[in-house]
Amino acid sequence: MPDCGPNHATLLRDVWRPPEVRSTALRSVLDELVRLATLAANSHNSQPWHFRCREGSVEIRPDFARRLPVVDADDHHLWVSLGCAAANIVEAAPAFGLSGEARMREGPDGSHVQVALAPAPDTGERSLEAIVGRQCARSTYDGRPLEATAARILAGTGRESGVDVDLLVTPEHRSALSELIIRGNATQVADTRFRKELESWLRFNASHAAQTRDGLFTGCLGAPTAPAFLARMFFDGSFTVERENERLRAQLDSTPAFAVVTGPEATPAGWVAVGLAVQRLALAATRLDVAHAHVNQPVEVAALRGQLAKLVGHEDRRPDLVLRLGHGPPMPRSLRRPTEDVIERSGG
């Protein structure tokens, strides 16, 4: 693993620490639920959210200042990210003696996700370990197939609220999907606007990542770290279609299964439902010791979505996410912004 540096390492331990569940003070509980929500998957680690805590709920609101206008022109990934954060709150709530229910809300200040909280007996369900253990492992896997039991669990995890999870495990399906991913990757890497947006979210070394506490630390991508000024100088020359497709091809060839997630409708409400489902799938994978990583190129490149939808038999809907599933080593983790930077409190 790359050297993360002492400050970066200290921040990582604090961000991904096991939660404190003994406190009964409402403010402490809500703060901890928000911290756990921020550990959810989100595009480019842009963390496009802020949270409003009330006595009986946590509202998750979009932070459009952190949107990704090139790779996510219609804010699809942004709303999925909010759904992922909501799923973490719902999954964590029972450990604090609460139940959580996520729903879309409309208000005078815009759409948001509300997680309604209510007292509930502790059911014994513990998602906390999976929440702090989950990571997007962008590594080459060892090629071992998924166990049949794990495949059944993962395929069924997200099938709720009109969301379908299609698991692709045959060589023919995996090959067809891999080609779509490679084509999408080539299109993106060749796009100057995409390259500039991606570079703006890259954190080229541990100090850079610790300073911003967001974005894509290159160590998490399996890439070398370097002083930021040097890395930017060499970015254009090293980030080529040929090199990126070669790296990606090795990852895809090592992947025994893919999950394609398709939501009920191409609206913010539908995308939030996808986020809820895919985060639960990721937590289930973590419990099963199954690595996962997003390869969303055929979703992000609009010209390929129809072919992806046809591949999984949902021609009447837009596919939302693609995940690699397999077995591989852990990767360095991403940081998150401090809770106090993303939370506001309101009485009533």
Report which DSSP code applies to 327: -
What's the CATH number where 16 sits? 3.30.1380
Are 155 and 266 part of one and the same domain? Answer: yes
Q: Which residues pair with 101 in a beta bridge?
A: 116
Cα-flanking dihedrals φ and ψ of residue 224, to 5°? Answer: -65, 150
Which residues of the chain fall below pLDDT 70?
Answer: 1-6, 23-24, 123-125, 159-160, 346-348
Are 167 and 216 part of one and the same domain? Answer: yes
Whether residue 169 contacts residue 256, with contact meaning beta carbons closer than 8 Å, is answered with yes
pLDDT of res. 348: 45
pTM metric for this prediction: 0.94
In the block, tokens 């394609």 appear at 260
Whether residue 324 contacts residue 293, with contact meaning beta carbons closer than 8 Å, is answered with yes
pLDDT of res. 177: 98
User: Is there a domain that residue 215 lies in?
Assistant: yes
pLDDT of res. 161: 78
pLDDT of res. 240: 94
Are 128 and 153 part of one and the same domain? Answer: no
H/E/C letters for each residue in 81-107?
HHHHHHHHHHHHHHHHCEEEEEEEECC
Are 168 and 123 part of one and the same domain? Answer: no
pLDDT of res. 1: 41
User: Is there a domain that residue 331 lies in?
Assistant: no
Are 194 and 291 part of one and the same domain? Answer: yes
Triad 151, 249, 182: Cα angle to 5°: 95
Of 8, 257, 222, give the one whose Cα is nearest residue 135.
Answer: 222
Cα-flanking dihedrals φ and ψ of residue 131, to 5°? Answer: -65, -45
292-318: per-residue pLDDT in tens?
A: 999 999 999 999 999 999 999 999 999
Whether residue 228 contacts residue 217, with contact meaning beta carbons closer than 8 Å, is answered with no
Are 156 and 228 part of one and the same domain? Answer: yes
Of 19, 20, 98, give the one whose Cα is nearest residue 56.
Answer: 98
Q: Whole domain around residue 125: which residue ranges?
A: 6-134+339-345
Are 190 and 49 part of one and the same domain? Answer: no
215-268: per-residue pLDDT in tens?
A: 999 888 877 777 777 777 778 788 999 999 999 999 999 999 999 999 999 999
Are 168 and 255 part of one and the same domain? Answer: yes
User: Is there a domain that residue 153 lies in?
Assistant: yes
Give the integer Cα–Cα distance in Å for 134 and 129. 8
Please tell me the total count of domains within the chain: 2
pLDDT of res. 284: 96
Of 119, 120, 54, 110, give the one whose Cα is nearest residue 82.
Answer: 110
Are 124 and 157 part of one and the same domain? Answer: no
User: Is there a domain that residue 332 lies in?
Assistant: no
